[in-house]
Amino acid sequence: MIWREPTNHIDDCYFCEAPPASGGFNKKKKSTIECPNILSALRPVSHGEGLPIPETPTDCHISSDEEDLDVSHNSPQTSTSACGGSRRDDDFSCFDETSSPHKITSVELNDLVRDLDLSKSKAEILASRLQQWNLLEENVRVTSFRTRHLLFESFFKKEESLVYYYDIHALLKEFCIVHKPNEWRLFIDASKLSLKAVLLNNRNELPSIPVAHAVYMKETYHI
């Protein structure tokens, strides 16, 4: 069969014109089946006097790109490239410049550790492996995660089991955020084991800021 795209589903669609196969086919029904012969599904035609079998040409020559290049250059000088084979362009490079390994910076490493939610020890192991594989910038310190809490430790105080901030202006300034009280709301999440309090941005354009944490403290609003 020679299949073509049908022009319509009225008289040029093989599957619309074919009889339904209700009850299946058997030897008796097989002789009564008439398959449609339409433009979108032409039946094969046997070769004969009016339609001879085509003969394969004896001298078939296909020109390649390199042969065309030979014609345009009178005396080409071929050289072997790093990918193998020959090339005629001295400026050609088979390697993509963007395929070189990317060096991870300190900011990118911190973002990766935050996205993976890694602890200090696991973050240091990850940084050590990346440094071993030569994937870190030279100024990236592997041991920086050991003291990452010291930057914000001075903004918090501890009373018994409660840890809370005492200078919200300085804390937001450290995050390079201008403190506007009307743009923040306090969110408290309590469970049987702990209580957490964070500041949420009303427009959800800035990250949440942790402001308090306590263990074995119930949620209450009495002043």
Alpha-carbon gap, residue 68 to 210, rounded angstroms: 69
Amino acid at 214: A
pLDDT in tens, the chain (223 residues): 778 888 888 888 888 877 666 666 777 777 777 778 888 887 777 877 777 887 887 777 666 665 555 555 554 444 444 455 554 566 666 655 566 788 999 999 999 998 999 999 999 999 999 999 999 999 999 998 888 888 888 888 998 888 998 888 888 888 888 889 999 999 998 887 888 999 999 988 898 888 999 987 766 666 5
How far apart (Å, rounded) are the C-alpha atoms in residues 55 and 62?
18
State pTM to two decimals. Answer: 0.42
Strands (DSSP E) found in the chain: 2-3, 41-42, 79-80, 86-87, 156-159, 162-165, 184-190, 194-201, 209-215
**According to DSSP H, which parts of the chain are helical?**
14-17, 27-30, 65-72, 106-116, 120-132, 150-153, 168-174
Domains of the chain: which residue ranges?
A: 1-51, 101-151, 155-222
